[in-house]
Structure 1
Amino acid sequence: MKNIQLLLIAVLLQSCFPVSIPPNLENGKWMEAQKFKRKLPNQYAYIFTDPKDANEFYYYISAKFPPNQEGDSENNVPVQINDTNYYISFYETEKKSRMVNLLPAITNEVLRDKNIPIELEEPPITREGTWYIVLTITDAEFIDALSPSYKNQKKILDYTKILHNEYISTTNYNSLQFQK
């Protein structure tokens, strides 16, 4: 019985425990942007996991909606949805997963207490990130078009889902310029 307890303690100390795990938003989710990440604007947003490389969504938006006169393809990109003008802004943001490995952390502390200068190289906390695209849409008066109180919110939300699916399935963004 004592051997089983020692075995369980050894396995427990060698295990990694998740402290925070980023959500899986492959299918996208509509929510308040600031509840997803504090530094985002105080608006409703459509958020999805970005499986592609950095800046790919920027290239997609630039190809689909050529830059306006100011040349900005991230903020207030003009689009027409059902013959009404709207503005899309997007943000690339990362959420990190954190895992704690107890054995190196405990061993390093014991060695430090005994004034032994050896430290295990493996960090006690490891991080791995997941990137997300956060889409916000406003109307011509800069009213949040994804807000539940907005009159055409359902149509706008459907449009964001179409953009998401088109982005994921498109590999050659130049072909988007020939579609209308």
Structure 2
Amino acid sequence: MVTGKKFKNHLPKDQLFIFSDPKEAEAFYKFVDRKFDGKGEMLDTDIGFDLNNEHFYLTFYEVEIPTKFVNVGTIFVDLALSSTDIGPIFEDQYSSRKGHWYIAIGVDHDRYGDCLSTTSPYREIVLAYLRDLKQEYISAQQYHDALFKM
């Protein structure tokens, strides 16, 4: 659990359930569409669901946290080549980026607002639900991979 803004600046100030997304882009959208019968609309906000006779609203975000690498080897090669007529050949490869993707989920209730806040009476049941949802999402990929490797 983390405050959205602390994880990524453009996220809301609410508490969010965040996990690493091992799948391809938009896989969670497709999962949510199937799970909550979104009829192919690719919903990501105010997705209604019921839990313990209460109605909640789920909102999720796909978030990339880029990792930047400095390729020191290419810099040294270009430095060595700079004294020759060849000149630098790796100029565009001094750094590279690789992103790590995360799913951030928030849950709201009409009367109590942020259900993941420490003061919410629904925090524990919503957290349990989100843990199960995450496991179902991850397992769906493992099942799909096993099915098509045969």
TM over 0.5: yes
Matches within 5 A, 1:92-131: 92-106=62-76, 108=78, 118-121=87-90, 123-131=93-101
| Structure 1 runs not aligned, ≥5 long | 1-29, 174-180
CA contact (8 A) 2:112 2:120 kept: no
Q: Report whether the alignment pairs 1:162 with 2:132.
A: yes
- Helix, strand or coil: the match of 1:170? helix
CA apart distance, 1:139: 0.6
The equivalent of 2:108 in structure 1 is: 138
Match of 1:84 among 45, 54, 57: 54
- Once the two structures are superposed, residues 92-112 of structure 1 have per-residue CA deviations (whole angstroms, 9 ceiling, x without a partner) of 111111211223235546766
Distance across 2 between alignment mates of 1:103 and 1:85: 56
Match of 2:120 among 132, 143, 150: 150
Distance across 2 between alignment mates of 1:102 and 1:116: 22
The alignment's C-alpha RMSD in Å is: 2.5
The equivalent of 2:31 in structure 1 is: 60
Distance across 1 between alignment mates of 2:128 and 2:93: 44
How many residue pairs get aligned? The number is 141
Matches within 5 A, 1:26-65: 30-65=1-36
Match of 2:44 among 43, 49, 74: 74
CA apart distance, 1:116: 5.8
- Once the two structures are superposed, residues 120-148 of structure 1 have per-residue CA deviations (whole angstroms, 9 ceiling, x without a partner) of 32611121111111111101247111111
Q: Which amino acid aligns with 1:170?
A: A
Counterparts in 2 of 1:139 and 1:93: CA distance versus 1, 3 Å: same
| Structure 2 runs not aligned, ≥5 long | 145-150
Distance across 2 between alignment mates of 1:66 and 1:99: 41
Distance across 2 between alignment mates of 1:118 and 1:158: 59
- Provide the TM-score with structure 1 as the length reference: 0.69
Counterparts in 2 of 1:136 and 1:170: CA distance versus 1, 3 Å: same
Distance across 2 between alignment mates of 1:63 and 1:90: 15
CA apart distance, 1:63: 0.7
- Once the two structures are superposed, residues 16-43 of structure 1 have per-residue CA deviations (whole angstroms, 9 ceiling, x without a partner) of xxxxxxxxxxxxxx21111111111111
CA contact (8 A) 2:74 2:94 kept: yes
Distance across 2 between alignment mates of 1:141 and 1:108: 62
